[in-house]
C-alpha cells in the first residue's frame, strides 16, 4: 500500500521503470552504476528502511520481505525488470523471485563474483558481507563454480550497515569496528576484497584504510549494471531515447530521513520520496 501521492503515471511499454530494492540505502550504490550506464532508463528504488537490517534476520523472513517488495514493484509501479540490489535478499530469495515474478529478476551475487575473479591476480580473495549472506554459503558456492582454484576468505561484518543507515560513514567508531572485523583478513595474503553488501561501498574509504593499498576493493555495482544492460538489449526492452527518466524513490521508514540521508549518499536526483506501508 502506498501513502502519499500516487505512483500511477502510465508508462509506454519500453519506458516502464526498472525496480531496484534493498533493505535501506545500500542499493543506492548499485543504482548509481545503473543510472550512469543507462541514462535513458527510469528507475524505481525502494529502501525497506522500516525493516532494515536484513543481515541478522533468518533468510526465510528476508525472502518473505523480498517477495512482498517485488510484488509491490510489479503490481503498483509496473516495473519491466527487478534488480535485487541487496546481497542478503539475493542469497535468500533470488531463485524464488526468478521463478515467480512475471518480469526478469537479477541479483548481485554472480556479478560480484565476476568482478572479484576479474580483479584478482594472485587468486586469493576476501568476501565481506552481512551475517546472513556469509552464513548462507551463496558466495562460497558461486565462487567455487566460477573459479574452483580461487582461495576464498569470508568474514561477516555485523554493525557496518547500521553506520551507513545512520549516515555515519567516516567516524572514528566505524574505523575501530572495521579494524576489529577485518583483522581475520589482514594477514592471509588476499589481493582483492569484494564488498558483498551493497551498503559497504559507502564505507570504502574506511575499509580501504584498514586493508591497506595492496588490497583492491571491488563491488558488484558495475557488473550488475552491465548485466542489466545486456538483458535489456537482448530482450529489446531498452527505453527509447527521450523517455521520461525522472526516477522514483520509495521508503517504508521515515521518508524525510530517507530523502536527507539518501541525497547525501546518492546526490540531488534523489528528491521526492513516497511512503510505503506494509500491511
Question: Where along the sequence are the contacts to ligand DGL (CB under 6 A)?
Answer: 22-23, 26, 52-55, 86-88, 130, 133, 161, 197-199
Single out the catalytic residue among 86, 154, 157, 245: 86
Does the annotation mark 154 as catalytic?
no
Q: Which single residue is written with the C-alpha cell 541478522?
A: 56
Q: Nearer Cβ to ligand DGL, position 203 or 239?
A: 203
Residue ranges of alpha helices (H) inside the chain are 28-37, 59-75, 87-100, 109-119, 131-136, 138-146, 160-165, 172-182, 204-211, 221-234, 255-266
Helix (H, G, I), strand (E, B) or coil at 86: coil
Minimum Å gap between C-beta 56 and ligand DGL is 7
Decide whether 54 or 258 has the Cβ nearer to ligand DGL.
Answer: 54
Measured over the CA atoms of residue 260, residue 79, residue 85 and residue 96, the dihedral's sign is: positive
Residue closer to ligand DGL (CB basis): 197 or 255: 197
Residue among 157, 197, 238, 245 flagged as catalytic: 197
Whole-angstrom Cα distance, residue 237 to residue 54?
Answer: 31
Query: From the CB of 97, what's the least distance to ligand DGL, in Å?
Result: 15
Quick one: 15 or 129, whose CB is closer to ligand DGL? 129
Active-site residue flag, 86: yes
To ligand DGL, the closest distance from the beta carbon of 236 in angstroms equals 30
d(CA 200, CA 196): 8
What Rg, from alpha-carbon coordinates, does the chain have? 18
How many Cβ atoms are within 10 Å of 111's Cβ, its own excluded?
A: 24
The partner residues of 191 in beta bridges, in order of sequence, read none
Closest approach of ligand DGL to the CB of residue 246, in Å: 25
Residues known to be catalytic: 86, 197
Amino acid at each position: 500500500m502506498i501513502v502519499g501521492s500516487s505512483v500511477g503515471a502510465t508508462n509506454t511499454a519500453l519506458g516502464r521503470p526498472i525496480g531496484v530494492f534493498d533493505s535501506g540505502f545500500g542499493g543506492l550504490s548499485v543504482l548509481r552504476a545503473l543510472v550512469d550506464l543507462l541514462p535513458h532508463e527510469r528507475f524505481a528504488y525502494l529502501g525497506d528502511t522500516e525493516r532494515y537490517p536484513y543481515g541478522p534476520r533468518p533468510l526465510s523472513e528476508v525472502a518473505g520481505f523480498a517477495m512482498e517488495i517485488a510484488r509491490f514493484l510489479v503490481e503498483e509501479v509496473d516495473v519491466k525488470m527487478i534488480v535485487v540490489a541487496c546481497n542478503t535478499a539475493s542469497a535468500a530469495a533470488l531463485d524464488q523471485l526468478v521463478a515467480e515474478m512475471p518480469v526478469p529478476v537479477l541479483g548481485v551475487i554472480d556479478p560480484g563474483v565476476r568482478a572479484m575473479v576479474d580483479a584478482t591476480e594472485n587468486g586469493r580473495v576476501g568476501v565481506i558481507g552481512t551475517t546472513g549472506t556469509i552464513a548462507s554459503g551463496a558466495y562460497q558456492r558461486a565462487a567455487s563454480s566460477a573459479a574452483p582454484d580461487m582461495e576464498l576468505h569470508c568474514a561477516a561484518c555485523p554493525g557496518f550497515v547500521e553506520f551507513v543507515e545512520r549516515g555515519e560513514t567516516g567516524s572514528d567508531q566505524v574505523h575501530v569496528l572495521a579494524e576489529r572485523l577485518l583483522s581475520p583478513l589482514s594477514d592471509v595474503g588476499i589481493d582483492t576484497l569484494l564488498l558483498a553488501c551493497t551498503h559497504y561501498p559507502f564505507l570504502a574509504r574506511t575499509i580501504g584504510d584498514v586493508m591497506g593499498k595492496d588490497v583492491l576493493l571491488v563491488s558488484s555495482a558495475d557488473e550488475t549494471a552491465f548485466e542489466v544492460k545486456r538483458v535489456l538489449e537482448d530482450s529489446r526492452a531498452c527505453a527509447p531515447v527521450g523517455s521520461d527518466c525522472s526516477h522514483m524513490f520509495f521508503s517504508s521508514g521515515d521518508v524525510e530521513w530517507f530523502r536527507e540521508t539518501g541525497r547525501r549518499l546518492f546526490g540531488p536526483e534523489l528528491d521526492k520520496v513516497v511512503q510505503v506501508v506494509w500491511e
